[in-house]
Amino acid sequence: PRVAVIVVAAGSGTRLSAGAPKAFVGLDEHTVLRHCLRGVFDARPAQVVVVAPGDRVGEALADAQEAAGERRDLVSVVAGGETRQRSVSAGLEAVWPDVETVLVHDAARALAPGDLVDRVVDAVDRTGWGVVPVLPVIDTIKRVEQDRITGVVDRAELAAAQTPQGFRRDVLEAAYRVARTEYTDDSALVADAGHPIASVAGDARAFKITTPADLARARALVSGAPI
């Protein structure tokens, strides 16, 4: 299938407090966004749409074109919105007419490898379902009310969701048209619109850079340090 990957990079990154929007922070000589796009291009998509903060569209385009190399014609950059959902919606508008499968990926998952992207594409292709990469939950999870523990949740029933999440393009567009509330991820939005969602194995390298500790870990990983 013809695959487009929407990379959402329009968040402000306030929890990271690294002085720039998260996707534009450097891991080494390259930014979070540039690293993320390396994994994306490894999967040979037909189109890559980067959703950037409104005042950084030019910067994102330069970064993305360098990551794309000879495939720079595949890259589009659009301005994002107030919420992640609006940013995805803006990205969807820019997807070319002949694209059949759309992946939505957080730029903040900078080290997600190309084979994870491939796994999601293959599962969408095989099932027609929405597809979410997941990892088992390691911690014991408690239900809380203020400072009181009110119960345990069986972690065998739980999984931690990552991106890229993949969908048939028609399914994702239809789900975005009917979405009336804010969702934390695209698969929840698509599930609420009545479509089945499958899981595939996630990848530890696809962790989301959110806190300064995550940033330090990502920097250590790209520098090749043992951690």
Chain residues in the site for ligand C5P (CB under 6 A) = 8-11, 22-23, 51, 80-84, 87, 106-108, 208, 210
Q: Which of 125, 221 has the CB closer to ligand C5P?
A: 221
Compute CA distances 15 → 10, 56, 70, whole Å.
14, 19, 35
Note whether 106 and 10 are within 8 A (CB): no
- CA–CA dist 55, 59 (Å, integer): 9
Rank residues 83 and 98 by Cβ distance to ligand C5P and give the closer one: 83
Smallest gap, in angstroms, from Cβ of residue 27 to ligand C5P?
14
Strands 130-136, 159-161: pairing kind: antiparallel
Residue type, 46: A
Q: How far is the CB of 161 from ligand C5P (least distance, A)?
A: 12
What ranges in 81-203 are assigned the alpha helix state H?
A: 84-93, 114-127, 169-178, 186-192
Question: Nearer to ligand C5P by C-beta: 54 or 194?
Answer: 54
* Nearest CB to ligand C5P, comparing residues 137 and 183: 183
Q: Cβ closer to ligand C5P: 43 or 77?
A: 77
166 vs 222: CA distance, rounded Å? 26
Of 2 and 159, nearer to ligand C5P (C-beta) is: 159
- Which residue in the block uniquely carries the two structure tokens 């107030």? 82
What is d(CA 199, CA 215) in angstroms, rounded to the nearest whole number? Answer: 27
Name the residue with tokens 């930014």: 31
Beta bridge partners of residue 164, listed in sequence order: none
Q: Nearest to residue 43, comparing CAs of 1, 94, 88, 85?
A: 1
- Name the minimum Å distance from CB 8 to ligand C5P: 3
Q: At closest approach, how far in Å is the CB of 20 from ligand C5P? A: 12
CB of 70 to ligand C5P, least distance (A): 26
Chain residue whose CB lies nearest ligand C5P: 11
Q: How far is the CB of 149 from ligand C5P (least distance, A)?
A: 26
